[in-house]
A and B are shown apart, each in its own frame.
Chain A
Amino acid sequence: MKTEPIHSIRPVKHLKPQEHWGWIIAIYLYLAGMGAGSFIIGTVLNWFVDPSRVVTIYGLPLDLAKGVILWGPILVAIGAPFLILDLGIKRRFLYACLNPRTSWVARGFLILSAFIVLGLLALVLSILSFQWLIEQTTLRRILEIISILFAFTTAIYTGILLKATKSIPLWNTYLLPLLFLVSALSTGSMAIILSTLGAGLFSHESGTFKLLMGGEQILVVIEGIVLYLYLSQRYRATEQGKDSVRLLLFGEKKLIFWGGIVLLGLVFPVILESIASFFHGNVVLIFVSGLILLCGGFFLRLGVISAGIKEQIPMQRLMEIQYELIKNPKS
């Protein structure tokens, strides 16, 4: 079988992306992003709607409605061990906080730990509905505001972690943290929609639910726009950025991109949700579109990670000219 060179001037037969970080890191980025996003949406929902359903279990008054909308930190806590799973020597994971002055991995370790601790604290304090605890409104508001700030940094950090490695042009842009933040918010709001619908907190015809759905659809559209801007900017940035985008759009990873990111993450949910709204909010359709969207969020991380191609080494062009591996454009 004849293989066509895919690069116009160089005899490169296939594009080789990095293989050191794989699906484990993608799962971690996905869970951390979705957890942080759902915590942001859930807390805002808690402030403005304040749903409440107090049940007494073993003499403890528990507000289960808060548990349904504030479970984000649990998801982040599930995602963080995946980062440890990827390490060479797993029992040394606590060392990872030793160099926060320059390293974003160390800063992320601290940000994630802080978010998990504060978020779980906020979750527990909201669920326990003792009278004396409910009266501490200022204290709880301060805790929630701080945890929301950490949730935002967690969602942005998932992009910064990749950006900070610098030598992979596909990742080295501020649009990547933005893309991951928007994706975190859209998957997070979808997760909140699914959990509230599953727990029967809001009926699917109530005003709050429609507001959530509307916001979620807008976020999906914004995500699509940011994804387009990101890819087109990377395509024009450097040669390896161009190669990465090519690999994602037309190369080995095209199934992840067109199937996972575009169809599952963007097109199907929008179509299914508009069909669902046409049928007065069919619950099954909303569930299906929600699950599909959540899968799409994972494939977005997987696609971006697996298509990262390293920048060429500085003297490579010199070697190529010296040994006439490339055609001299002037001759």
Chain B
Amino acid sequence: MEEKVLVVDQQKCTGCRQCELVCSVFHTGSSNPSRSRIKVVKWEHVGIYLPMICNHCEKAYCVEVCPTKACHREPELNNRVVIDKNLCIGCKTCIISCPFGHPSFDVQERVTVKCDFCDGDPQCVAFCYAKAVFFLDADKIQMAKKREAANKLIESMKQIR
């Protein structure tokens, strides 16, 4: 089965935080970036904008530490890791155990929330105008990066000529 993954090209990100808005609108109905599942971390003094997303790890700590099985893997839907809102008790153990700082506590719903690929159609990918976030087949990531590098090489060779 083909698995799809979210990939970030952080060099293209402009830090507009559109993805945070559409993510929170899709999941919570309110345009509130603080309730978004994707977070753009910024280092303004060096000009780095890094959208932080869930990696849906192969060996996910959040699944391991969850006491209620609310945080579980769904192999049928791109092997994603999701949190069942109806089972989560909000103990925050997954937040502490995630090395990427991903699951976040939703203060209004009182449960922990995380990226779920928007059920197969990630809104951050659809609305990113800089095309910094991709939703690709897992085996095509390398290909895309190689093509990108080749394109850059061609550009620079044109400049030399």
Contact = CB atoms under 8 A, between A and B. Distances in A.
Contact of B46 (A93, A164, A323): A323
Given A89-B110, A314-B99, A102 B65 contact: yes
Contacts of A323: 46, 48
B64 interface: yes
Contacts of B48: 319, 323
B68 A167 contact: no
B105 interface: yes
Interface in B71-128: 87-93, 95-101, 105, 110-112
A325 B48 CA distance: 11
Given A97-B67, A105-B67, A313 B90 contact: no
A99 B91 contact: no
Interface in B36-90: 46, 48, 50, 61, 63-70, 87-90
A21 B61 contact: no
Interface of A, secondary structure class, is loop
A88 B67 contact: no
Nearest to B107: A88
A103 B89 contact: no
Contact of B61 (A97, A166, A325): A166
A90 B30 CA distance: 25
Given A21-B96, A95-B89, A106-B67, A167 B110 contact: no
Given A103-B66, A167-B61, A92 B89 contact: yes
Contacts of B46: 323, 325
Given A88-B110, A95-B68, A104-B65, A20 B96 contact: yes
Contacts of B95: 20
B90 A87 contact: yes
8 contacts: A20-B105, A92-B87, A95-B87, A96-B67, A99-B66, A105-B91, A165-B96, A319-B48
Interface of A: 18, 20-21, 86-89, 92-93, 95-99, 102-106, 109, 164-168, 308, 310-311, 313-314, 319, 323, 325
Interface of B: 46, 48, 50, 61, 63-70, 87-93, 95-101, 105, 110-112
The 4 residue pairs across chains A and B that have the minimum distance between CB atoms: A88-B90, A105-B67, A88-B110, A106-B67
Given A88-B105, A92-B68, A166-B65, 11 more contacts: A86-B91, A88-B91, A89-B90, A96-B91, A98-B68, A99-B67, A164-B65, A166-B61, A313-B100, A319-B48, A323-B48
